[in-house]
Amino acid sequence: MTNSPTRSNTKRFRQFSIAGLLLLMCSAAGFFVGFRYGLGQGVDDQVKQRLADQQSIRYVKNYLVGPLLQSKSPLDNTAVSLETLQRDLEQAVCPGRWQSAGGESVIAAVPPASLIISASATDHDQVAAYLAGRQHVVSLPR
Give tens-digit pLDDT for 91-119.
999 888 899 888 889 999 998 889 999 99
Amino acid 127: pLDDT: 93
Q: Could you tell me the pTM of the whole model?
A: 0.59
Residues 116, 132: Cα–Cα separation, whole Å: 16
Could you report how far apart the first and last alpha carbons of the chain are, in Å?
Answer: 107
pLDDT of 79 > 90? The answer is: no
Where in the chain does DSSP place strands (E)?
Answer: 58-64, 106-110, 114-120
Q: Which fold has domain 57-139?
A: Ribosomal Protein S8; Chain: A, domain 1 (3.30.1370)
For residue 140, pLDDT over 90 is answered with no
Flag whether pLDDT at 73 surpasses 50.
Answer: no
The predicted model gives 73-80 an average pLDDT of 58
Q: Provide, rounded to the nearest whole percent, the portion of the chain with pLDDT above 70.
A: 77
